[in-house]
């Protein structure tokens, strides 16, 4: 289990910025399963909502929300496209700030 999660993370990081979430979505769609889809989406929505709450309360709100969004992006192409745009935007801003 841990080995599979590590491989998913390495595949995600190796993919170029701006296409990471769509590639993750494509990898997840190669092995569709209804129960997994329902479980992942429900956990993802819960984490996004918890992340929103943690933005106000002390805690890692952005990290928890991003993790929930990643889980949802594995099952939804629309969310994957939106997160790719946000990833590309953040990468460009980061490079500009570093210069």
Give whole-number Cα distances, 82 to 1, 42, 69, 71, 78, in Å.
29, 19, 10, 13, 6
Distance of alpha carbon 81 from alpha carbon 19, whole angstroms:
8
Given this model, what pLDDT does residue 42 score? 93
Per DSSP, helices labelled H in 30-76 are 34-56, 61-73
Q: DSSP label at 19?
A: S
Given this model, what pLDDT does residue 51 score? 92
Give the domain range for residue 43. Answer: 2-98
Given this model, what pLDDT does residue 6 score? 85
Q: What does the block give as tokens for 34?
A: 């209804």
Given this model, what pLDDT does residue 70 score? 86
Counted domains in the chain: 1
Given this model, what pLDDT does residue 28 score? 83
pLDDT digits (tens, 9 = 90+) for 29-88: 888 788 888 998 999 999 999 999 998 888 898 899 988 988 898 888 899 999 899 988
Given this model, what pLDDT does residue 46 score? 94
């Amino acid at each position: 289990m841990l080995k599979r999660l590590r491989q998913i993370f390495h595949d995600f990081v190796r993919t170029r910025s701006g296409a990471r979430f769509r590639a993750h979505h494509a990898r997840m769609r190669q092995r569709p399963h209804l129960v997994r889809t329902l479980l992942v989406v429900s956990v993802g929505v819960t984490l996004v909502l918890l992340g929103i709450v943690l933005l106000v309360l002390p805690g890692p709100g952005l990290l928890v929300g991003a993790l929930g969004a990643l889980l949802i992006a594995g099952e939804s192409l629309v969310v994957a496209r939106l997160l790719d745009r946000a990833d590309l935007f953040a990468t460009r801003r980061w490079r500009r700030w570093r210069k």
